Structure 1
Amino acid sequence: MDSTLLKTGKFYRGARPDEASPEDRTRLVNEYGIRTIIDLRTKTEHIEQARKRDVKIQSSAAVPQTNDEVAEPLKIPGITYHEINFNGSAFSRMLISKLSWTEFGKLVGLMVLGYRLEAIKVLSPLMREEGLVGLAIDSLDVCGYEVCQVFTVLVEPSNWPIMIHCTQGKDRTGLTVMLVLFLLGASIEAVEKDYLLSEPELLPEKEERLKEIQSIGLTEHFAGCPTDLVP
């Protein structure tokens, strides 16, 4: 990437930093100087990550908790967080609108009872049908509010250096970074090259990611970086 477009050491993208070692979490603050993290994950993802860290947390949708509250146990001290559920209410409504009434009732019941992963499986056939490219297009169509939230953080100089991430760091994060790079005037070739860097970098944890992906009814395709995602 041409350093005249984006200065080195200002903008980072990655997967969930809460999976990093204590040493690497410290490095993000002391070595890389990260001031701000934009976390694009859903409440369900935060709950599952908190459970991995043995944090007792309510998973029922009937319990009033904000995304920020369930993400709190995952945060790195010394960094300001912005919890922005990139595929938030508008995206969810778009998917839910395609369900039958029976499927919708099942989804609501599972969420209220705290079976969030099982609830996502109700939506997974729709996501499999769309594929990563289709879901990216849908996101651009309906997630304008969330994109605006991200850029509201990005335009404030005091927030830099910034790290942006989701779970895998290639789909919601990759799409957001594409928007940034295109706005800066980067070529399609440069944006595509940056996006495709994710696939080899994620290989060491592919087996674990596949288990997570399959647990919500998705396929191995969702662990990769489709070469036709960048327009």
Structure 2
Amino acid sequence: MARSSSVDLDSPDRPFDNIINFRDVGRTINQVSGASILKEGILYRSARPDDASERDKRRLADEFHIATVLDLRSTTEHKMATRKRRAENENTGTEIDLTNTPSGNADEHLVQIPAQRCLISLAGKAMERTLLWRLDWTNYIKAIAMTATGYRNDAIRLVAEQVMQPRGLTGLAQDTLDASKSELRCIFELLAVQETYPILVHCTQGKDRTGLVILMMMLLAGDQVSRAAIIDDYTRSELELVPEFEERMREISALGLSEDYTRCPPGFVDDLIDYLDTHYRGVSGYLACIGIDLNMQEKIREKIMST
């Protein structure tokens, strides 16, 4: 069912029926900055577009001309989304157990538009190992045993409660930078290709993993994009996600996480910029470290900058 809205439907910022937290990053940054710094109509971000209406799909294809959908979700999240879709299709009216994830094809929930789809999880094997290593020995052995005996969801919940919750969203983003270098290399290799654009980047909420990738792209623009503008673009996700707060709370609770994971930590952007500066000599140093050379960085910069 399409959501009602008081926003003028003739406005360029009019909402989608069933896609939230959607925005043109260039347009947002330019409005906050009061200057034409980034190209508009090139780089978009959103929460998952799984429930897009037919009108939403036409808009993505015909109005925004999306050429690439970059999906940063984990395998577990895809399975949860598939189960949700199957339960809705069956129309059973029963409570959905999001922890009982299905096997087999987990692609039926994905939005179908004429664009290339790139699934690059920022919670891959290397990230899983990093989180496991943060467990104490008792819980580490318990998590390994759960996974080996077919109780992977219980192991995920254990890691979420014992590691992810204490680390918080900022700590997890730092872990992602350290552990998911091969995945981030794939992402930025994609972003350096002309045919990739216009691109829609999303995860589940379109807030933190998406926020990390967008933040790094904005840092590539240099001093022209202010830290204040990057913070504004990141923090506006919290209000944008309010319409699905209860649903998202059910999902993160099923993973063993608290309400904190629905919010935008106030120090997220500052802390990540400082972390990149301290550990990698800035975003350019980080990207060079993972195999994105200065030539490729310049290609990305040329694609997103207005001049």
Q: Which TM-score applies when normalising by structure 2?
A: 0.67
The residue aligned with 1:93 is 129
The residue aligned with 1:31 is 63
Q: 1:122 to 1:30 in 2, by over 3 A?
A: same
The residue aligned with 1:178 is 215
The residue aligned with 1:207 is 246
Q: Are positions 1:228 and 2:267 aligned together?
A: yes
Q: Are positions 1:164 and 2:196 aligned together?
A: no
| RMSD of aligned alpha carbons | 2.4
Q: Are positions 1:191 and 2:227 aligned together?
A: no
CA distance in 2, matches of 1:73, 1:222: 23
Q: 1:216 to 1:112 in 2, by over 3 A?
A: same
The residue aligned with 2:45 is 13
1:60-102 residue CA offsets vs partner (Å, 9 max, x unmatched): 8xx8x7xxx6335514131111110112122111111123455
Q: Which TM-score applies when normalising by structure 1?
A: 0.87
CA distance in 2, matches of 1:150, 1:75: 20
Q: Are positions 1:219 and 2:258 aligned together?
A: yes
Tell me the CA shift for residue 161 of structure 1: 0.4
Q: 1:59 to 1:221 in 2, by over 3 A?
A: closer
Structure 2 residue matching 1:191: 3-state secondary structure = helix
Matched pairs, number = 224
Tell me the CA shift for residue 178 of structure 1: 0.2
Structure 2 residue matching 1:164: 3-state secondary structure = strand
Paired AA for residue 170 in structure 1:
K
Structure 1 residue matching 2:50: 3-state secondary structure = helix
| The structure with more radius of gyration | 2
CA distance in 1, matches of 2:59, 2:146: 39
Q: Is the 8 A contact 1:28 1:34 kept in 2?
A: yes
Q: Is the 8 A contact 1:36 1:162 kept in 2?
A: yes
CA distance in 2, matches of 1:8, 1:46: 30
Residue 116 of structure 2 is aligned with which of 69, 72, 80? 80
1:128-183 residue CA offsets vs partner (Å, 9 max, x unmatched): 11111111111122222111111111111111100000001011000110000011
CA distance in 2, matches of 1:10, 1:150: 16
Runs of 5+ unmatched residues, structure 2: 1-28, 90-99, 271-307
Q: Superposition pairs for residues 52-91 of structure 1, below 5 Å?
A: 52-54=84-86, 70-71=106-107, 73-91=109-127
1:34-65 residue CA offsets vs partner (Å, 9 max, x unmatched): 01011001111111111112189x958xx8x7
Which protein has greater RCO, CA pairs closer than 8 Å, 6+ apart? Answer: 1
1:196-222 residue CA offsets vs partner (Å, 9 max, x unmatched): 110110001011111111111100001
Paired AA for residue 63 in structure 2:
E
> Among the aligned pairs, what percent are the same residue?
40
Q: Is the 8 A contact 1:59 1:114 kept in 2?
A: no
CA distance in 1, matches of 2:235, 2:226: 14
The residue aligned with 1:130 is 167
Paired AA for residue 39 in structure 1:
D
Paired AA for residue 118 in structure 1:
D
The residue aligned with 2:139 is 103
Runs of 5+ unmatched residues, structure 1: none
